[in-house]
Amino acid sequence: MSPLPQNLLNLLPMAGHTRGNRDAMTCHFKCGDACAQAVCNTSSNSYFRDIANSALSRRAALGLGGVAAAVVVVGPQIAHAPSASADFGGFGKGGGKLPFNAIDPVERTVDTVSVPDGYDWAPIIRWGDPLFNDSPEFDAQHQTAAAQEKQFGYNNDYLNIIADGGNGRTGVLVCNHEYTNEYMMFDPQWQAENEDEARRIAWAAHGFSVVELTRKKAGQKWEYVRGGQRNRRITATTPFRLDGPAAGSELVKTVADPEGMTVLGTNNNCAGGTTPWGTIVSGEENFNQYFQGRGTAEEARYGIGTGAPSRGWEKLDPRFSAQNEGYENEVNRFGYIVEIDPQDPTSTPVKHTAIGRFKHEGANINIAADGRVVVYSGDDERFDYVYKFISKGKYREGDKAHNMTLLSEGDLYVARFSETSAAEIDGSGTVPADGAFDGGGEWLPLVKNGTSRVDGMSVAEVLVYTRLAADQVGATKMDRPEDVEPSPLTGKLYIALTNNSNRGASGYAGADEANPVNGNRDGHVIELTESGSDAAALTFNWNILLVAGDPAVSSSTYFSGYPAEKVSPISCPDNLAFDSRGNLWISTDGAPGKIGYCDAIHKVTLTGDERGRVEQFLAVPAGAEACGPVIHDRENSVFVAVQHPGEGGTYDQPYSLFPDFKDSRESAGLGEFYGPRPSVVQVFSTRGNNGVGFKKRAEKAKSLPRT
């Protein structure tokens, strides 16, 4: 059943294929209808499942060497682990432990942030809030590109809240703005008459925001500072320096940038990470949807079609169509990990070609035993891969200028997983007789010591056409790798695989032990331990931490042996985070269409008797996705970027009134804008000092019937 009302179904050409998953508008605007397109990976890549007698498979089956099975490595503290704080965000002096009783799953039409007893929530900043002293106030009915460039962008995704230290009363909020939904942002009549200005507004609503924060006391609620010295907007037109081995190559030159060194803008940045040296790295994900291609094989592997994209940006700037002479390579300048320095608003953001070009979900960093920096990144597409980059240079504590060169040069690898119970994997999700979905694996080199390890491809070709390079070496086809994040406490890596309905379908790769569910609807999470607990190791062991779903209705769920009847239902794991005690936190994207509940943030215990226990902490409003969770458990706070609240609605007919719940829904026509505004929210404890002075918002809960 589509969540769209019939009048919209009649009006909107792309509304027909929700595939029982996300809202159709999310599919369209966020991913460019990726799930409705053909699978990009048509390679005959004979990954491990196809190499029945390979040495790797035999070694794995025998439990030998670096691909041994089920080794529980209780690793030492990772070398140079920068801090115990999740994502290096920093904590104040609070002594909180974030105690809570799991909430029940929330029906998908409930339009509020649902939190446990003893907690409340409030927005810190909303789409359109003014960042600078001369920024216009938000006025959706009279929005301009010039205003949007000085206001908080749309659809916040990756998030970090970084305290400055000292008295704990100042800090900075950094987040990216993945995409825009013009149906919800604009009065349709106005948009029809002002197409170019609407596109310029969309450019200005993409990118990043950096915003200073203040609070009365460490542990209390943050407020954003209008006019803060570090406040900054980065948009779809901000100059980026292209960096690394592919920068300046023929593959990235255009008529507007004959040197191939400067790219305007960043688009569709999804998840990300904060580096030990304090910069933000973020992934350009579904960048393909902004471009019109020429029909080359390389474009096809990235999902770039030849039709005119619905956003029509190529009508305003020729670089968005590769069919325009001189701009054939513009699309090769997107799909990278970008790095920005939130402490220096004058710094030039960078795109790192050394980490490869694909639909990067995000990037997260660990430091190897010898000090080299390791970047993990997933390629969020059905049957695509998990990668890691190992820097040539070494991390130097306190030397930010040096550390900001580390992502420019190094080795790039892609993961191949092997199995211990291959013969038992039938796609049903039944746990094998050895008690685990598990195995070994290796990181296969694509670029090493400055040379290509892929036949027939130069270093620049490997870094620009990374998917095609990984196809050649036999990487394992995964179920949409989202966040790939190492625990700051153990260095173990967690890989969120959000779903893949095509797994096992006719003509596609079938289930394997690392992706054990055919038609994988709800996704799963892999736990990976690098050999010797060293992030620079080239072999690893892995096991599945959980196979998601609602245990009440799904027979394929798995929670590392924890009783399924005691967990919160969970579906479509996406962003990952850790608290200071090493618990894993998972946010979801797409749960409403799968299990009928609002997207959520869950805590997952990783150790002890309760390993595998999933407890739901919050739910986001109707139509929204829970993004960028930041867990400051010592301060009893959780931060969430509420993305696309009310998606599926329109400017005239909103499906959500979050976060302000202006009650002018009954007013006809285009009165005061009352639709939803994507916002960053702080959830805080109302026990003790933390909650002093905050208005209880629970009574604002509303349920908007979807007609």
Provide the binding-site residues for Ca ion, judged by CB under 5 A: 270-271, 420-421, 432, 434, 436, 438, 574
Task: Please say which residue, 351 or 360, places its beta carbon nearer to ligand FEO.
Answer: 360
Cβ neighbourhood burial of 608 (10 Å; 0-12, 13-18, 19+)? exposed
Binding mask 262-301 for ligand FEO (x = CB under 6 A): --------x--------------x----------------
Task: Please say which residue, 334 or 465, places its beta carbon nearer to Ca ion.
Answer: 334
420 interacts with, out of ligand FEO, Ca ion, none, CB within 5 to 8 A per kind: Ca ion
438 interacts with, out of Ca ion, ligand FEO, none, CB within 5 to 8 A per kind: Ca ion
Task: Please say which residue, 33 or 285, places its beta carbon nearer to ligand FEO.
Answer: 285
683 interacts with, out of Ca ion, ligand FEO, none, CB within 5 to 8 A per kind: none
Task: Please say which residue, 549 or 590, places its beta carbon nearer to ligand FEO.
Answer: 590
Q: How far is the CB of 440 from ligand FEO (least distance, A)?
A: 27
Q: How far is the CB of 258 from ligand FEO (least distance, A)?
A: 32
Q: Does 251 bind ligand FEO (CB under 6 A)?
A: no
Tell me how many residues contact ligand FEO (CB under 6 A): 7
Q: Dihedral, CA atoms, 333, 336, 340, 345, nearest 10 degrees?
A: 20
Nearest C-alpha neighbor of 281 from the set 392, 362, 380, 401: 362
- When binding is defined by CB under 6 A, the residue of 87, 361, 379, 530 that contacts ligand FEO is 361
Task: Please say which residue, 436 or 548, places its beta carbon nearer to Ca ion.
Answer: 436
Binding positions for ligand FEO, 158-197, rule CB under 6 A: 178
285 interacts with, out of ligand FEO, Ca ion, none, CB within 5 to 8 A per kind: ligand FEO
Task: Please say which residue, 100 or 287, places its beta carbon nearer to ligand FEO.
Answer: 287
Nearest C-alpha neighbor of 687 from the set 696, 676, 699: 696
- Measure CA 251 to chain center: 27
434 interacts with, out of Ca ion, ligand FEO, none, CB within 5 to 8 A per kind: Ca ion
Q: How far is the CB of 575 from Ca ion (least distance, A)?
A: 6
Residue 573's CB: how many other CB atoms inside 10 A?
Answer: 30
Instruction: Write out the two tokens for 592.
Output: 């409403």
Task: Please say which residue, 276 or 309, places its beta carbon nearer to ligand FEO.
Answer: 309
Binding positions for ligand FEO, 502-521, rule CB under 6 A: none
Instruction: Write out the two tokens for 679.
Output: 């916002």
129 interacts with, out of ligand FEO, Ca ion, none, CB within 5 to 8 A per kind: none
Q: Does 380 bind ligand FEO (CB under 6 A)?
A: yes
* DSSP-derived secondary structure for 593-622: HHHSB--EEEEE--SSTTTT-EEEEEEPPT
Contact status, residue 155 vs residue 678, Cβ threshold 8 Å: yes
Q: How far is the CB of 253 from ligand FEO (least distance, A)?
A: 29
Q: How far is the CB of 110 from ligand FEO (least distance, A)?
A: 23
- CB under 8 Å to 6, separation ≥6 — which residues? none
Nearest C-alpha neighbor of 577 from the set 633, 521, 530: 633
Q: How far is the CB of 498 from ligand FEO (least distance, A)?
A: 7
Q: CA 559 to CA 544: how far, in whole Å? A: 9
Task: Please say which residue, 87 or 361, places its beta carbon nearer to ligand FEO.
Answer: 361
- Provide the β-strand partners of residue 445: 413
Q: How far is the CB of 512 from Ca ion (least distance, A)?
A: 11
Task: Please say which residue, 212 or 599, places its beta carbon nearer to ligand FEO.
Answer: 599
393 interacts with, out of Ca ion, ligand FEO, none, CB within 5 to 8 A per kind: none
Q: How far is the CB of 62 from Ca ion (least distance, A)?
A: 13
Handedness of CA 497, 498, 501, 507 (dihedral sign): negative
Q: CA 129 to CA 141: how far, in whole Å? A: 14
Q: How far is the CB of 680 from Ca ion (least distance, A)?
A: 16
* DSSP-derived secondary structure for 615-647: EEEEEPPTT-EEEEEEEEGGGTEEEEEEESTTB
Instruction: Tell me the residue nearest to Ca ion as measured from the CB.
Output: 421
Q: How far is the CB of 178 from ligand FEO (least distance, A)?
A: 6
Task: Please say which residue, 495 or 657, places its beta carbon nearer to ligand FEO.
Answer: 495
Q: Does 479 bind ligand FEO (CB under 6 A)?
A: no
Task: Please say which residue, 155 or 420, places its beta carbon nearer to Ca ion.
Answer: 420
143 interacts with, out of Ca ion, ligand FEO, none, CB within 5 to 8 A per kind: none
CA atoms within 13 A on the CB side of 531: 16
Task: Please say which residue, 26 or 421, places its beta carbon nearer to Ca ion.
Answer: 421
Handedness of CA 523, 529, 531, 535 (dihedral sign): positive
- CB under 8 Å to 411, separation ≥6 — which residues? 389, 390, 392, 445, 447, 448, 449
Q: How far is the CB of 181 from ligand FEO (least distance, A)?
A: 14
Q: How far is the CB of 392 from ligand FEO (least distance, A)?
A: 29
Cα distance between the two ends of the chain: 12
Task: Please say which residue, 361 or 461, places its beta carbon nearer to ligand FEO.
Answer: 361
Q: Which regions of 36-195 does DSSP assign to beta strands (E)?
A: 119-126, 156-163, 170-177
CA-to-CA separations, 591 to 22, 565, 594, in angstroms, rounded: 8, 19, 5
CA-to-CA separations, 471 to 384, 444, 466, 610, in angstroms, rounded: 9, 11, 9, 39
Task: Please say which residue, 567 or 627, places its beta carbon nearer to ligand FEO.
Answer: 627
- Tell whether omega for the bond before 659 is within 30 degrees of 0, i.e. cis: yes
Binding positions for ligand FEO, 573-612, rule CB under 6 A: 574
Handedness of CA 627, 630, 631, 635 (dihedral sign): negative
Q: How far is the CB of 528 from ligand FEO (least distance, A)?
A: 19
The amino acid present at 76, given as its one-letter code, is P
Q: How far is the CB of 199 from Ca ion (least distance, A)?
A: 24
- CB under 8 Å to 581, separation ≥6 — which residues? 97, 489, 633
Instruction: Write out the two tokens for 103.
Output: 């909430």
- Segment (H or E) for 15: none
Q: Does 482 bind ligand FEO (CB under 6 A)?
A: yes
Nearest C-alpha neighbor of 356 from the set 446, 257, 254: 446
Task: Please say which residue, 314 or 513, places its beta carbon nearer to Ca ion.
Answer: 513
Q: Does 23 bind ligand FEO (CB under 6 A)?
A: no
CA-to-CA separations, 580 to 91, 92, 583, 585, in angstroms, rounded: 9, 12, 8, 11
Binding positions for ligand FEO, 539-578, rule CB under 6 A: 574
432 interacts with, out of Ca ion, ligand FEO, none, CB within 5 to 8 A per kind: Ca ion
Q: How far is the CB of 157 from ligand FEO (least distance, A)?
A: 7
List residues near ligand FEO by CB under 6 A: 178, 270, 285, 361, 380, 482, 574
